[in-house]
Amino acid sequence: MKTLAVVSHKGGTGKSTLSIHLAVKAQSEGQDTLLVDLDSQSSTVAEWASIRTDKHPLAVTAQVSDITELQQQATDEGFDLLILDCPPYLNDDTDQITRLADYTILPTSPRFADICTLPKGIEKIHQPYSVVLNSCTPDLEGKISFKTAQVYQMLNDSDIPVSPVHIIRLEAFTEALNYGQGVTEYQSNGKASEHIKTLLDWIYMVA
Ligand SMILES: Nc1ncnc2c1ncn2[C@@H]1O[C@H](COP(=O)(O)OP(=O)(O)O)[C@@H](O)[C@H]1O
Ligand SMILES: [Mg+2]
């Protein structure tokens, strides 16, 4: 079983959104997936699961202190993938969680203010990990936007690992959640689905 942790230094960066869409996509590809909501403050995954009709991927709520036991249980029960939607901070809990993970992603918007505060606490993330730029300005005619390109450069200059896959800002990511769906179910041929597929393929490759 592979474990993917989704962490960040603040709320609202897209942890729950990406966790949910990745879990639905992985499940549809035959990877039995357990999605764990570790953010007791916002419980986005739990709320999404409560309006979802399909019971897969299985979504549960847990405390950080239970995570080792939960990982063992998921392995014993034959899950293929465990996705941990983490609380919005980087601290000793992050160290504990990301040690258990095969790979960690840190979604962040490409806003200057978010990128500047990123290095604070980043040493708490156990490698391997990558920042995933989320809610990026839509690409122009197939080309990466100037602003996103600038942020890639900033992260590269700071030696912060960053995923080559970035996610653009699309309403479909939010709308799908309102129906208890993943975006690959909501708009299976849309751009947002394409992004999630590309991100998941990349995670499989590096994890
Ligand atoms: N790529 C995106 N495009 C459009 N909206 C997004 C995108 N990613 C996240 N959002 C929206 O941003 C808000 C915060 O996302 P959320 O996943 O709840 O953040 P976090 O879990 O990090 O606190 C939500 O309303 C979500 O639907
Ligand atoms: Mg969240």
Task: Please state the domain extents for the chain.
Answer: 2-206
Give the atom of ligand 1 at the shortest distance from the alpha carbon of 18: 17
Question: CB of 101 within 8 A of CB of 5?
Answer: yes
Strand partners, 107: 132
Closest residue to atom 13 of ligand 1, CA basis: 12
| Residues within a 6 A CB radius of ligand 1 | 8, 11-17, 42, 44, 88, 134-135, 167, 169-170, 173-174, 177
Which ligand is closest in space to the CA of residue 11? 1
Q: What is the CATH number of domain 2-206?
A: 3.40.50.300
Pairing between strand 33-37 and 103-108?
A: unpaired
Give the atom of ligand 1 at the shortest distance from the alpha carbon of 14: 17
Read off the pLDDT of residues 36-56 as tens digits, 9 standing for 90 and up.
Answer: 999 988 999 999 999 999 999
Read off the pLDDT of residues 155-203 as tens digits, 9 standing for 90 and up.
Answer: 999 999 999 999 999 999 999 999 999 999 999 999 999 999 999 999 9
Give the atom of ligand 1 at the shortest distance from the alpha carbon of 174: 27
Which residue shows structure tokens 């960053």? 162
Pocket test of ligand 1: the residue of 10, 17, 84, 166 to mutate, having most ligand atoms within 8 Å of its CB, is: 17
For the CA atoms of 64, 68, 72, 75, what is the dihedral angle to 10 degrees? Answer: 60
Read off the pLDDT of residues 135-155 as tens digits, 9 standing for 90 and up.
Answer: 999 888 888 999 999 999 999
Give the atom of ligand 1 at the shortest distance from the alpha carbon of 19: 17
How many angstroms separate the CA atoms of 159 and 127, rounded?
13
In the reported structure, the alpha carbon of residue 77 is separated from the centroid of ligand 1 by a whole-number distance in angstroms of 31
pLDDT of residue 89: 95
In the reported structure, the alpha carbon of residue 13 is separated from the centroid of ligand 1 by a whole-number distance in angstroms of 6
Q: Is 90 exceeded by the pLDDT of residue 19?
A: yes
Label residue 119 by pLDDT band (50, 70, 90): confident
User: What is the end-to-end Cα distance of the chain in Å, rounded?
Assistant: 11
Closest residue to atom 17 of ligand 1, CA basis: 14
